[in-house]
């Protein structure tokens, strides 16, 4: 199998059109996005540009292409954050209202709506995917898990926003990929699908579990949990996300396979073995996102 990699800006319509004409793809899985909430708080402009205008560039490029390629399909990968925040009960599903609470979430909600408008107006062959928190190997160090693991290995403070009681539903990256591949084959065009694991964890509990794994794998003279430091909360921090993924389970038979504790251990082990590589981007672990 021949693998071609093109490193281009998705807002560059000329470059995107050239790639499409060269490769004549059967499908597009649109996962390109600015994705860190804290950075969107400090500087929303790049999120607006990439997530909204980048998505529009792809849609406007592929629209004429679909006229001569009726089997083409477009998978727009988004987030459950577009729905806002939940209380102690309930879960988001495909009929949930859009109530984004951060510039990042607003930019993704906007891109979702652009895709929806192309589906309804132009009969564009797309699906919209709203997924819960991904985790696993190779995640960029600004995210909670790699940030916690790498800081701990370097004996640096482990920041916990606010009281750490915020709840997230954690989806292992391998399970997410499996769902996307099934949707490309069996998903219904024009539909939205929520993908989640039904494995909810409080942020503080996740960090403590990481510390416990590190205590066993890379022991030091005290527990890594001693490095936990509570810091000022993120402005507008959503309290809880949870996703009802019964639609995708019923329609195409997908179910998450990875237990959170097992996936977490695999993730910790990955960063232990690849620590030097990720330490080179230590700037990504600097606290941002406090601007109001």
Place of tokens 């849609």: 59
Q: Which residues have C-beta within 8 Å of that of residue 64, sequence separation ≥ 6?
A: none
Residue 138: name the closest of 281, 236, 7, 25 by CA: 281
Q: How many CB atoms lie within 10 A of CB 110?
A: 19
The three-class DSSP label of residue 153 is helix
Distance between CA atoms of 131 and 169, rounded to whole angstroms? 9
> 149 and 214 in contact (C-beta within 8 Å)?
yes
Q: What angle is formed at CA 240 by the lines to CA 236 and CA 241, rounded to 5 degrees?
A: 110
192 phi/psi in degrees, rounded to 5: -110, 145
> From the candidates 34, 38, 56, 104, which is the catalytic residue?
104
User: Is-catalytic flag, 224?
Assistant: no
> From the candidates 80, 93, 142, 200, which is the catalytic residue?
80
Q: Which residues have C-beta within 8 Å of that of residue 135, sequence separation ≥ 6?
A: 143, 145, 170, 171, 172, 173, 263, 264, 267
User: Is-catalytic flag, 215?
Assistant: no
> From the candidates 34, 38, 81, 238, which is the catalytic residue?
81
Q: Where does 197-244 show beta strands of DSSP type E? A: 200-202, 228-231
CA dihedral 245, 246, 250, 251 (to 10 degrees): -40
User: Is-catalytic flag, 104?
Assistant: yes
Q: List residues with catalytic annotation.
A: 80-81, 104
């Amino acid at each position: 199998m021949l693998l071609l990699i093109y490193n281009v800006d998705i807002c560059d319509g000329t470059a995107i059109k050239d790639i499409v004409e060269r490769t004549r793809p059967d499908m597009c899985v649109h996962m390109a996005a600015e994705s860190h909430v804290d950075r969107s708080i400090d500087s929303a402009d790049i999120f607006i540009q990439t997530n909204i205008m980048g998505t529009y560039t792809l849609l406007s490029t592929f629209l004429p292409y679909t006229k001569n390629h009726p089997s083409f399909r477009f998978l727009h990968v988004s987030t459950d954050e577009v729905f806002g925040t939940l209380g102690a009960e309930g879960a988001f599903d495909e009929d949930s209202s859009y109530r984004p609470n951060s510039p990042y979430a607003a930019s993704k909600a906007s891109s979702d709506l652009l895709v929806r408008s192309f589906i309804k107006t132009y009969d564009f062959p797309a699906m919209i995917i709203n997924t819960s928190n991904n985790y696993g190997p190779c995640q960029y160090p600004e995210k909670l898990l790699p940030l916690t693991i790498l800081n701990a290995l370097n004996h640096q403070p482990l920041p916990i926003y606010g009281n750490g009681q915020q709840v997230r539903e954690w989806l292992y990256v391998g399970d997410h990929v499996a769902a996307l591949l099934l949707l490309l084959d069996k998903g219904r065009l024009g539909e939205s699908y929520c993908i989640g694991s039904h494995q909810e964890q409080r942020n503080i509990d996740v960090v403590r579990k990481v510390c416990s794994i590190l205590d066993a794998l890379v022991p030091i003279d005290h527990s890594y949990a001693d490095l936990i430091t509570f810091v000022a909360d993120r402005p507008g921090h959503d309290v809880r996300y949870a996703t009802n993924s019964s639609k995708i389970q019923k329609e195409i038979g997908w179910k998450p396979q990875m237990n959170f504790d097992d996936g977490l251990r695999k993730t910790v082990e990955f960063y232990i073995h690849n620590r030097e590589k990720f330490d080179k981007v230590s700037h990504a672990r600097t606290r941002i996102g406090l601007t109001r």
